[in-house]
Amino acid sequence: MVYVSRKEHFNAAHKLYNPNWSLEKNVEVFGPCANANWHGHNFELITTVKGEPNPETGFVIDLKQLSTLIRREVIDKLDHKNLNMDVDFLEGKMASCEILVIEIWKILAPKIKEISETGELHSLKLYETPRNYVEYFG
């Protein structure tokens, strides 16, 4: 099994806030991330596809096609956006990295199978900061 990864970048703002809670509880749980005026991050998304290399191309997946797919289906919808207000696939959901990476998986997993004969989505790693990231394996 070979694992191939592509890293993409986007900038976005969000706030962590549960509308069912009081302002005090939101601040207690989320701290400055509950800031009423949002806060932003320089996100890094690492998409890993696993599979056996195609004997004719030597590729598990064509990385140019993978990059185009990620940009069209995910990055263009997130970059320079407010995750709470501008992103249709997060509507009604908490804009945490954990929820975001699950929703990205739902978008990419079936589409990767369309562009690779042998590859499938193995994992997503989403860096919110250089020290904080979430990883999801579907």
SS3 content of the chain, % helix, strand, coil (to 5): 35, 30, 35
If one counts every other C-beta atom within 10 angstroms of the C-beta of residue 120, the result is 15
Marked catalytic residue, from 28, 39, 52, 80: 80
Annotation says 80 is catalytic: yes
Marked catalytic residue, from 8, 33, 44, 103: 33
DSSP 75: I
- What b/e readout covers 69-94, taking b as 16+ CB neighbours within 10 angstroms? bbeeebbebbeebebbeebeebeeeb
Annotation says 97 is catalytic: no
For helices 97-115 and 63-70, angle between their N-to-C axes, nearest 10 degrees: 130
The residue type of 57 is: T
Annotation says 8 is catalytic: no
Marked catalytic residue, from 14, 97, 122, 128: 128
Nearest of 100, 103, 106 to residue 121 by alpha carbon: 106
Active-site amino acid positions: 33, 80, 128
